[in-house]
Structure 1
């Protein structure tokens, strides 16, 4: 499988005729129970006077990023850190003997693909402590301009899932605020969130390093510390949502990888007015990748909680914005 790609993931919206969008807001989703459940929830949430009506100011939707909005084999943040670690080791050779730095330098792509968020944030702290926010943003933007997926050969920003881009647009068209709540680095995602997903940087929640105000000889800046401030993974996700939004989501989407989205989906679904919990199952080896948790924790939680589970193989007509 070798996809053909346009300049940006959001270009798929241009390719879809307006009349088709009006008739079917989710054209990349196959007709079936999952699509019906999504449309049914949004219809109930926006039908004033109905039992499922959600006032506009409460229509909050949160999305995990890696493996939910775009691919995560490898984790994009890990690929970025590969370049950063190489530069850091030139300054401190002792890091070359420590894991996960050693594996990064040896090109252990398998390890990078399985790294969890705490490991990634450890690398962030080691490589970016002391840098200003502006310096970090410049490095992240430079990475996205040149980096390509090792297997698919296209920019990472073109690997957003077409069905999820449509879902984001569909929710916004119905008065929902769409937020990212990811275990990945918050500042890393903010660099590309608006161009890739239509989500402004202020609506991105993620893991973060501590920061300090530095007057900088009359030029004040925010400087990143080599210490973790918040790990927005697993039980940290509801905490981050409360800190940034101040409202419980009524719609949330995650995926099956490390169990990192379970608590966010539980937090969304289990409330006086049941929310909608969507879990993406990576079961399409032909068009993307097939993988799952060893203990099956996310799928087990979905069965017990009555969440809606997406089979990428069965429920998505296409995966990426442009496919042959």
Structure 2
């Protein structure tokens, strides 16, 4: 009996020692199950672990844990750009009201179905469409039109609502960061008011934590019913060098984590702003190289990947680093 008791005690001690030899992270449920194991996933986990280990060299106080994310091509698909699809519908409606728009670009391209031109439109061209289609509208009118679009519109190739095309790995990353005390913000070149309509339901990011391009607004007493009315003038273009400006204006702190993608070079300055500071931040760049499950495309001059190599950013290969792309396993 004593011998059996000794063996049982020895086995328990061995099991206890083995348990403490295994990192606690390995014992916990995987917070990023849609990410393949490898250096990219590990670098994210390592950064978050350092940032939340009090007393460690990489510790970041909770109030400074700011994470900013581009939207199109970073949090959800951008072929086509979702706001572009929305604005195409709006342009057709506005041309019926003002026929002169049909002779101007990019409105002419919209009516003629010039898909190549539409796909190449940058944020400034999208905002030009926004000023022409929504100048004079109240914020409430714009929000109603945007909500109606999201309720009815479907992706032309994948055939599902755009809000179901958020990337599963990025949704997990947002949740993982928030679970570790990070504030998650959107900083996109797209229209701020457009994204705010769906940001909370789609990403868990409340509208007050969305930064984007915006039109000028004015207060209108509205015959005793005060409203904010959108003007046909651009207030802020939140793209390229405009992103750090928008972040400072809305947050007042430099991000310690930022994510963008390779499409147009529009995220380079935000990632540089995050990475290069007294406390080095984490810069994540999404490379669209998965033609089978999503789309494969690069910016023409390769500026984003070049900046990533020079700046030591973490580059995500959608094809290699993601087990799945969309929540429903596409």
TM-score range, shorter chain: over 0.9
TM superposition shift of 1:11: 39
What is the CA deviation profile of residues 125-179 of structure 1, one whole-angstrom value per residue up to 9, with x for unaligned ones? 0000000000000000000000000000000000000000000000000000000
* Residue aligning to 2:143: 137
Distance 1:26 1:15, change over 3 A: farther
CA separation in 2, counterparts of 1:64 and 1:15? Answer: 39
TM superposition shift of 1:14: 31
* Residue aligning to 2:309: 303
TM superposition shift of 1:110: 2.2
Distance 1:32 1:186, change over 3 A: same
TM superposition shift of 1:194: 0.2
* Residue aligning to 1:185: 191
* Residue aligning to 1:285: 291
Distance 1:229 1:131, change over 3 A: same
Distance 1:38 1:88, change over 3 A: same
* Residue aligning to 2:4: none
TM superposition shift of 1:315: 0.2
- Alpha-carbon contact 1:190-1:204 (below 8 Å) kept: yes
Q: Which moved more, 1:21-30 or 1:159-168?
A: 21-30
CA separation in 1, counterparts of 2:68 and 2:24? Answer: 26
TM superposition shift of 1:323: 1.6
Is 1:321 matched with 2:320?
no
Distance 1:274 1:125, change over 3 A: same
Say which one has the larger Rg.
2
SS at match of 1:247: coil
What is the CA deviation profile of residues 64-92 of structure 1, one whole-angstrom value per residue up to 9, with x for unaligned ones? 00000000000000000011000110111
Distance 1:302 1:18, change over 3 A: closer
Distance 1:66 1:11, change over 3 A: farther
Alignment: residue pair count: 323
Give TM-score scaled by structure 2 length. 0.92
Higher relative contact order (CA 8 A, sep 6+): 1
What is the CA deviation profile of residues 213-256 of structure 1, one whole-angstrom value per residue up to 9, with x for unaligned ones? 00000000000000000000000000000000000000000000
Distance 1:62 1:206, change over 3 A: same
CA separation in 1, counterparts of 2:212 and 2:13? Answer: 26
CA separation in 2, counterparts of 1:9 and 1:211? Answer: 65
- Alpha-carbon contact 1:130-1:225 (below 8 Å) kept: yes
Distance 1:254 1:97, change over 3 A: same
TM superposition shift of 1:13: 28
TM superposition shift of 1:109: 2.3
- Alpha-carbon contact 1:5-1:322 (below 8 Å) kept: no
What is the CA deviation profile of residues 265-287 of structure 1, one whole-angstrom value per residue up to 9, with x for unaligned ones? 00000000000000000000000
Distance 1:5 1:226, change over 3 A: farther
Q: Which runs of 5+ in 1 are unaligned?
A: none
CA separation in 2, counterparts of 1:12 and 1:88? Answer: 69
CA separation in 2, counterparts of 1:22 and 1:147? Answer: 39
* Residue aligning to 2:36: 30
SS at match of 1:69: coil
Taking the TM superposition and a 5 Å limit, the aligned residue runs for 1:45-56 are: 45-56=51-62
Distance 1:20 1:244, change over 3 A: same
Q: Which runs of 5+ in 2 are unaligned?
A: 1-7
Distance 1:8 1:126, change over 3 A: farther
* Residue aligning to 2:300: 294
SS at match of 1:5: helix
What is the CA deviation profile of residues 194-221 of structure 1, one whole-angstrom value per residue up to 9, with x for unaligned ones? 0000000000000000000000000000
Distance 1:291 1:272, change over 3 A: same
Equivalent residue in structure 2 for 1:202, among 198, 208, 229: 208
CA separation in 2, counterparts of 1:11 and 1:192? Answer: 49
